[in-house]
Amino acid sequence: MVLQRARLNQWARLYKGVHTWAGIVAGMALFIAFYAGALTVFKAPLERWASPPANTSAWVDVADTPALIQQTLVQDPAVADEFFVHLHPLEHRPAAMAWMVAAEGADEHDQLAQVHYQSFFDGDGELVIEQASPSPLAEFLDVLHRVVGLPFDTEYTRWVMGIFAVLYALALFSGLVVVLPTFAKDILSFRLGKNRKRMWLDAHNVVGIVSLPFHLIIALTAVGFAFHDGIYMAQDKVVHDGTLIQSFRSGLPAPDPSPKEPADLLPPAKILAQVEALAPEFEPTMLQYLRVTSPMPAVRVWGNDQQAMGARAWGSFAILHPYSGEVLNTDYLPSHQEASFTAINTIFSLHFVTFGGTLEKWIYFILGLAGAWLFYTGNLLWVESRRRSQKPRQPLPVQRGNVRWLASTTVGVCLGAVCGMSATIAAAKWMHGWVDNLILGHQLVYYVTFFLAIAWALTVGAAKASVQLLWVAAALTLSIAASSLLGWAGWVPAWWSHGSLATLGVDAMAVMGAACFGLMAMSTAKRVYSGSADSVWTIGKPAVTATD
């Protein structure tokens, strides 16, 4: 027993070094990924909030979509490769039929590089095909989340993200080993009190332990999302002997080379009736047509089953034959899938929180913010462990250069990301009507704010910058709701406010977020101006003059 305790302590010491190293290298990138990820839980409401109101009078009902599909495909046969038929109009979605064309040379996962199109009938019943411009805001935030704050989701940035995700997994494991020997004692005696560092450490440990299951899931899936292409390629060589492509194609019917006429497509209403008969509890949201004029045509009916784990971020789906209506595949339909597919869907669902309802999304939102907080406090503890305390009747010590640098950088990067994201969300309204390239606009607003914050923090130091940047974060976050209010009141004609609960929720969250940042700014200010002087977090006496 005594030996075991000694061994455990020895491991704890060893892994403390690993934990510190991994945490310091990856902490700030992970802060950005988690803060953006928490926002991305509400990607759909953010997208609706950020899009100007669309003219939904041209909405085509399901019953009339056969003519819309057929005429669109006559005018532009290339659309047959992939298009969507939406079943429900929303404030930002004016047309039932939509498709995307990838920009030249774009990565397949890079949603921002897609040009969106839609088709509908005008007042005279004539077909109109036009370029759609859905707000890229939510997708941009998702990109920040997916590639730890980098601007583009490409093969290379995913590798960078993967490296951070591996370090994150390592930090989790090593952190667990560090707290294990003294875990029971430490958890049961959460020490609020004089020793501030001890209190932060206890809080860091409690939050880490309580959210450990969430972090394990996120770490394992994030590494998978980053490296799946590479892993599949390696497995194709050493595990599957080059048969992987065939494996993915198995389960689909044999190609049928007979010529296909879009006019013969089964009406979407009939496709939906087939799915309804198959799975009455399934609520379809859209149809995704694939390769309808090729030898392997298919239509995926996407939707949600409230009682089950969604297969992917868009929900679950069944694959049908778009001409015969025959059900081709139900592997991704919760009520009709085998256990092996339920297992796969669970992996995705636990990352994207496509299970349960609004409550589960809020839990993930809070866990995501708590994760960001964990990385911030990790850096803070590194700084505080290296603090030089003032001895009685001794001059104020000079804090180490790398300690001051990490404190400033942590404040600049973390609060810079928070400020940048709030600014770029609000900018969805500010830029409307006069900015052509909205993606570039959102990127500029975010990165200019982000880098200005870092530069400012490095210039004025962690103490001053933390208070100031928290106030800036509060102001920018409040401006999200203020922009909606000005749009609703009609004071700025180009701005708008939707009435739906989802979009009002975005405004309400912005108000609450701003209040939180304001409170944090006030309590931080208290410490900065009246805390003990031998700290990088106070400006009681400038450290440089302390040598006299």
Partner 1 sequence: MANTRSDSRQGSHSGWLGQGLAGLILGFTLALGVSKLFMLMTPEMVQTARVQLAMWMVMPVWLTVFAVSFLWRRALHAWVMLGILNLAVFGLAAI
From candidates 8, 25, 58, 166, binder to partner 1 by CB under 8 A: 166
244 scored as a contact of partner 1 (CB under 8 A): yes
Return all residues near 344 (Cβ < 8 A) that are at least 6 apart: 311
238 scored as a contact of partner 1 (CB under 8 A): yes
Nearer CB in complex with partner 1: 319/506: 319
231 scored as a contact of partner 1 (CB under 8 A): yes
Return all residues near 535 (Cβ < 8 A) that are at least 6 apart: 387, 399
CB of 215 to partner 1, least distance (A): 12
Nearer CB in complex with partner 1: 170/445: 170
247 scored as a contact of partner 1 (CB under 8 A): yes
Q: How many residues bind partner 1 (CB under 8 A)?
A: 36
DSSP per position, 320-348? E-TTT--EEE-TTSGGG--HHHHHHHHHH
Widest pairwise Cα distance in the chain: 94
15 scored as a contact of partner 1 (CB under 8 A): yes
Cα–Cα dist 159/176, whole Å: 26
Cα–Cα dist 196/402, whole Å: 21
Nearest alpha carbon to residue 85 among 72, 74, 76: 72
Cα–Cα dist 324/320, whole Å: 8
Cα–Cα dist 465/115, whole Å: 40
From candidates 115, 128, 234, 494, binder to partner 1 by CB under 8 A: 234
14 scored as a contact of partner 1 (CB under 8 A): yes
Q: Residue 112 gets which letter from DSSP?
A: G
CB of 13 to partner 1, least distance (A): 9
449 scored as a contact of partner 1 (CB under 8 A): no
169 scored as a contact of partner 1 (CB under 8 A): yes
Stretch that binds partner 1, among 123-131, 336-344, 355-363, 466-474 (CB under 8 A): 336-344
From candidates 5, 191, 228, 541, binder to partner 1 by CB under 8 A: 228
270 scored as a contact of partner 1 (CB under 8 A): no
Nearer CB in complex with partner 1: 221/500: 221
Cβ–Cβ < 8 Å for 477, 443: no
Cβ–Cβ < 8 Å for 422, 497: no
> Residue 246 pairs with which residues in a beta bridge?
none
Nearer CB in complex with partner 1: 89/224: 224
248 scored as a contact of partner 1 (CB under 8 A): yes
> Residue 288 pairs with which residues in a beta bridge?
84, 300
Neighbours of 100 (CB within 10 A): 15
Chain residues binding partner 1 by CB under 8 A are 10-11, 14-15, 17-18, 166, 169-170, 173-174, 219-221, 223-224, 228, 231-232, 234-235, 238-240, 244, 247-248, 250-251, 331, 338, 340-341, 343-344, 347
